[in-house]
Amino acid sequence: MAARPMPYLDDLNPAQREAVEALEGPVLMLAGAGTGKTKALTTRIAHLLGTGAARTNEILAVTFTNKAAREMKERVARLLGQGVEGMPWLGTFHAICVKLLRRHAELVGLKSNFTILDTDDQVRLLKQIIVAEGIDEKRWPARQLAGLIDTWKNRAWTPEKLPVAEAGAFNHRGGELYAAYQERLRALNAVDFGDLLLHVVRIFQEHEDVLAQYQRWFRYILVDEYQDTNVAQYLWLRLLAAKHKNICCVGDDDQSIYGWRGAEVGNILRFEKDFPGAKVIRLEQNYRSTPHILAAAGGVIRGNEDRLGKELWTEAEDGEKVRLIGHWDGEEEARWIGDEIEAMQTGARGMAPMSLDDMAILVRASHQMRAFEDRFLTIGLPYRVIGGPRFYERLEIRDAMAYFRLAVSPDDDLAFERIVNTPRRGLGDKAVQTIARAARGLGVSLVEGARAAVERGEIKGKGGKALDLLVRQLDRWHAQVQAEADTHVELAEQILDESGYTGMWQADKTPEAPGRLENLKELVKALEEFENLQGFLEHVSLIMDNETQASEEKVTIMTLHAAKGLEYPAVFLPGWEEGLFPSQRSMDESGLKGLEEERRLAYVGITRAEELCTISFAANRRVYGQWQSQLPSRFIDELPEAHVEVLTPPGLYGGGYGAAGMGQGRSRLEEQASRADAYNSPGWKRMQARGAARGVQSPGESRNLVIDATAVSSFSKGDRVFHQKFGYGYVMGIEGDKLDIEFEKAGSKKVVARFIQSADR
Ligand code: ATP
Ligand code: MG
């Protein structure tokens, strides 16, 4: 081995070093948050490359988010003190599988330019299938079937392998509809997210030669956040690692937070069985957080029964206690956090000034973000939102993307359907049916069907002319994509202009229109970072974050789920309230599974903080336009008192929270009752008075009563809703202030609208 200097090894403790240097054979690193698992994994890659044990293309490294993949690449380069020429196989499961599937698409009956559907396309397609089967889509919503199919795919159940009991779901038609859906996808040359993995697994299982080639190729396999792999991902890894068995997985059972998406923490526990002789390495020293933060996190996670149990220690100085603060409502919470961030930035808190980049707000549900976004926009505090494809889920972005998709693949029928009459071209349902008929008759795509219908004069008048123009534009844009004559950024702008899409929003006088135009600009800006449209489209369908790179310092806002693996000197954890965190869904579930996952999420949240962690809750919250009163989260009671400082916002919260919520060893009911007592304190009385002036009801009186007078009009047919007693369901009809709801468990019921909450995830 070359006697090159390996200074990066000096930064590791002995256990980490062992994990890095044990290059041959299976290694499992099982350790708590902040113990340097990712650091060891990254160093291992650097070591593989630095010692010449492997070339970049022989290393398969799987991370959980694109952001994590980017960071890992940068860190490897830094460790080696040189640029790493491409790490072609370092990325998320999905990104790597897209690559593999493009190479071997024909083995599962696809063409290599297949389209990746997002959730919305998926639901639309399922709706068509459900309707075509003569099933009442209102009773049996496509979204529900989409959820089922996702779950099945996460478990690696293809239609053929679907257990009988599962196939009987969805009014006994689940299995059959799943098969029909897969057929349609194939006909459309499209895949959904779950397919990316499943198709590749199938290729590996059915084509030994292909599998053997990759088994030889990937001599070293590394997996971060192993606790969150699902069955399909697990099978994929096991197949690839079977030859060399040089697989190194790192994870933490206490941070398994994707159970709801089919992750199997059992994969970690099974590792030693799957790979006999595996070296298991445990790390206990935490290098990220102060003792107070660690103790707070440890106190919470101890509430879980189902865990391996690990203790962490740190050499760091005590630092500040975890701070806890209650607010009147979500708006006030956002205002306080905004002020606090500004104070920290300028050093007004008596601490050294802190960069905005070092602060993050981690929310349980993405709807919590809006209050912060609004507030920060008002006070001009720069922020970025990461987590979830929110930006790319917006209507205008999806429309624009549909145009881009068509320019890249003209046979993308779903994209064509989306934009054929957007902006309005006078092509109503009838015209669309004519196009579809023409396409079916000829066995071609909708674009080709449209061309034929125009040529045969089947669509008359203004609509016909507009369609003719659209088809010719699509031809030209596609030719431009292929010729690569213009930069893709210019082309994108041109498409949005020529199609009339930008013009449509410019002419729109609704209050949202300016924001939509902003978003379109943002989209074009995002394109600049990619080589071409195809690469961008791929990225978007895989994306986990919408961060636009900019040099300006910004506070980060993201979901707890997206924050996995990350760290920030200062972390704010707002909205610790029953029904929000833990979520209502987890509280409704029978058994502890859901609650334990929420608790792990709390553990993940607290352990993101290095120096300062601030937890907050509000007594009232507007959820989907309706006011609701809230009780502090049970997780707040689980914070060890000695490590928590209860803050009192001046003039807001005169009564101490400490007396009310920090009880230990009491029954849940007693705790809830005493938490409710906090609402009788003088401070709350003052807040009630202020709130009453704003039309908000007091929290103690009417838990979960919807008190917004406009509630009735805020529901529409098909909405997913929640009722305290009957659980989840869908709105089937609306009569005055009563809603006709089909509940999942309780069946069909008429319920007064103010007892209903919106339940979209
Ligand atoms: P998580 O479970 O949250 O993903 P992790 O175990 O992956 O955490 P890392 O992110 O690798 O932890 O490391 C946490 C922090 O500790 C990082 O800032 C890292 O640079 C630092 N660190 C890790 N190992 C050491 C070490 N041996 N000496 C000094 N700092 C270290
Ligand atoms: Mg990590």
Atom 27 in ligand 1: which residue has the minimum CA distance?
Answer: 12
Q: Please, what is the Cα angle at 505 between 502 and 508, to 5 degrees?
A: 150
> Considering only CA atoms, which residue is closest to atom 18 of ligand 1?
288
Q: What pLDDT, on the 0 to 100 scale, is given for residue 376? A: 83
Measured CA to CA, the distance from residue 35 to residue 31 in angstroms comes to 7
Judge whether 38 is annotated as a binding position: yes
- Rounded CA-CA distance 124/188 in Å is 13
Q: Is 509 annotated as a binding residue?
A: no
Closest ligand 1 atom, residue 286 Cα: 16
19 annotated as ligand-binding: no
**Residue 486 pLDDT grade (very low, low, confident, very high; cuts 50, 70, 90):** confident
The helix (H) or strand (E) run that includes residue 278 is: none
For residue 277, the tally of other CB atoms under 10 A from its CB is 8
Give the C-alpha separation, 723 to 594, whole Å.
Answer: 19
Q: How far is CA 162 from CA 119, 133, 149, in A?
A: 21, 20, 10
With a 6 Å cutoff on the Cβ, whether 314 touches ligand 1 is no
Atom of ligand 1 nearest to the CA of 31: 6
Ligand 1 contact via 605 beta carbon (within 6 Å) = no
Give the C-alpha separation, 179 to 83, whole Å.
Answer: 47
Residues labelled as active-site residues: 37-38, 224-225, 255, 608
Cα of 617 to ligand 1 centre, how many Å? 29
When pLDDT is averaged across residues 216-244 and rounded to a whole number, the result is: 94
Decide whether any atom of ligand 1 lies within 6 Å of the 36 Cβ: yes
Determine the Cα–Cα distance for residues 240 and 279; give it in Å rounded to an integer: 19
Ligand 1 site-directed mutation target among 8, 12, 18, 38, most atoms within 8 Å of CB: 38
What does the pLDDT average to over 55-84? 86
289 Cβ closer than 6 Å to some ligand 1 atom: no
Q: Would you tell me the crossing angle of helices 533-542 and 93-104 to the nearest 10 degrees? A: 130
| Cα of 565 from ligand 2 centre, angstroms | 4
ipTM above 0.95, yes or no: yes
Q: 132 by DSSP, 3-state: which?
A: helix
pLDDT tens, residue by residue, 665-715: 333 334 444 444 444 443 333 334 433 333 333 333 322 222 222 433 467
pTM for the predicted model, two decimal places = 0.71
User: What's the pLDDT tens digit per position in 103-158?
Assistant: 999 999 999 989 888 777 788 899 889 999 999 888 888 888 998 999 999 999 99
Q: Could you tell which of 13, 258, 288, 567 is best to mutate to test the pocket of ligand 1, judged by most ligand atoms within 8 Å of the CB?
A: 288
Which residues are CB-contacts of 31 (< 8 A; sequence separation ≥ 6)? 37, 250, 252, 281, 282, 283, 284, 310
Is 360 annotated in some ligand binding site?
no
Query: pLDDT tens, 525-560?
Result: 778 767 889 888 887 776 433 334 444 789 999 999
Does residue 16 line the site of ligand 1, with CB under 6 A? yes
Express each pLDDT in 156-189 by its tens digit. 999 999 999 999 999 889 999 999 999 999 998 9
Supply the DSSP symbol for 583.
B
First to last CA, the chain: 54
| Ligand 1: centre distance to CA 600 (Å) | 19
Residue with CA closest to ligand 1 atom 9 = 36
